[in-house]
């Protein structure tokens, strides 16, 4: 469990390790001693690093309970991450439009290592459950429609690497075996979208299309999560069509050739008030 990965040396690495630990325990925060134990560090070391992190605003300490948790400054900072190529900004209005017209919840997923991460979501009126969960949530790449759509459109070698790494992680989440997975992937590549009515989450279903870069490789996925009845034979092709059109639009906007794209909107001062 406690990764205990050999040799966290520099104070920076230790600081990050502490932040990681805090991220995993932020219900009510973590205590100094526990952090020290979990990371195999001495209390004074942890204390000093925490002090620095608190001074920097990355960590907050509740002085009464002596518990540490991630600070709001970190929250603010990190909220600005996960916007590669302005992907999130570009997709925001599209997602709003989609959730409004389709009346379902829209997800924006990107790849992060062997996971897919939910970059953004736009709620529809139907309460749904999803693998990726909230914004910032992660899911094994290949599990779930959006995640699968990305995997299917990765460059060949990368896809193979991910498959090899992820197959063991997919136990019990609907991926029966390698053959099944590869069949699914082939189908997604063929159709240009991922959809499974046999949702792993009861009553839930979804459909996703990849957002491609110039080389035709997935950089993200736009995904609709809804209740199964709402993805019937009549509705599905329409939804797919709309999604594909929007994904194509995003692809166009992602093209960094156009120099005008550098400043997309510039609404209000972006801080530094």
Binders of DNA among 40-59, rule CB under 7 A?
41-45, 47-51
What tokens were used for 267? 């609404």
Torsion angle (degrees, nearest 10) of CA 133, 134, 140, 144: 50
What is the per-residue binding string for a second copy in 38-77, x denoting contact by CB under 8 A? -----------x--xx--xxx-x--------xxxxxxxxx
162-191: contacts with a second copy (CB under 8 A): 169
CB 51 to DNA: min, Å: 6
What is the per-residue binding string for DNA in 66-105, x denoting contact by CB under 7 A? x---------------------------------------
11-40: contacts with DNA (CB under 7 A): 11-14, 31-34
Task: Confirm or reject binding of residue 9 to DNA (CB under 7 A).
Answer: yes
Q: Which of 104, 144, 96, 151 is nearest to 120 (CA)?
A: 96
Selection from a second copy, DNA, none that 255 binds (CB < 5 to 8 A by kind) is: none
Task: Confirm or reject binding of residue 28 to a second copy (CB under 8 A).
Answer: yes
Q: Which is nearer to DNA, 25 or 205 (CB)?
A: 25
Distance CA 110, CA 99 (A): 19
Q: Which is nearer to DNA, 17 or 108 (CB)?
A: 17
CB 12 to DNA: min, Å: 5
What is the per-residue binding string for a second copy in 222-261, x denoting contact by CB under 8 A? ----------------------------------x-----
Q: Which of 4, 5, 6, 10 binds a second copy (CB under 8 A)?
A: 10
127-166: contacts with a second copy (CB under 8 A): 127, 129, 131, 133-140, 143
CB 192 to a second copy: min, Å: 25
- Residues in contact with DNA by the rule CB under 7 A: 9-14, 31-34, 41-45, 47-51, 61, 64-66
């Amino acid at each position: 469990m406690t990764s205990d990965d050999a040799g966290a040396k520099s104070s920076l690495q230790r600081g990050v390790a502490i932040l990681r630990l805090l991220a995993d325990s932020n219900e009510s925060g973590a205590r100094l001693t526990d952090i020290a134990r979990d990371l195999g560090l001495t209390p004074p070391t942890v204390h000093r690093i925490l002090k620095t992190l608190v001074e920097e605003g990355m960590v907050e300490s509740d002085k009464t309970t002596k518990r540490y948790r991630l600070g709001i400054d970190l929250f603010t900072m990190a909220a600005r991450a996960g916007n590669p190529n302005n992907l999130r900004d570009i997709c925001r209005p599209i997602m709003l439009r989609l959730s409004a017209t389709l009346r379902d919840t829209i997800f924006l997923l990107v790849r992060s290592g062997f996971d897919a991460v939910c970059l953004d979501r736009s709620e529809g009126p139907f309460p749904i459950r999803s693998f990726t969960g909230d914004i910032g949530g992660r899911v094994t790449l290949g599990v779930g429609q959006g995640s699968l759509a990305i995997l299917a459109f990765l460059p060949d070698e990368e896809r193979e690497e991910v498959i090899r790494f992820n197959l063991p992680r997919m136990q019990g989440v609907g991926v029966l075996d390698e053959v099944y997975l590869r069949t699914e992937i082939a189908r997604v590549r063929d159709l240009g979208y991922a959809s499974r009515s046999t949702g792993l989450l009861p009553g839930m279903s979804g459909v996703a299309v990849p957002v491609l870069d110039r080389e035709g490789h997935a950089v993200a996925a736009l995904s609709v999560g809804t209740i199964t009845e709402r993805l019937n034979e009549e509705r599905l092709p329409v939804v797919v069509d709309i999604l594909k059109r929007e994904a194509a639009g995003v692809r166009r906007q992602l093209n960094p050739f156009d120099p005008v794209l550098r400043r997309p909107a510039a609404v209000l001062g972006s801080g530094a008030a």
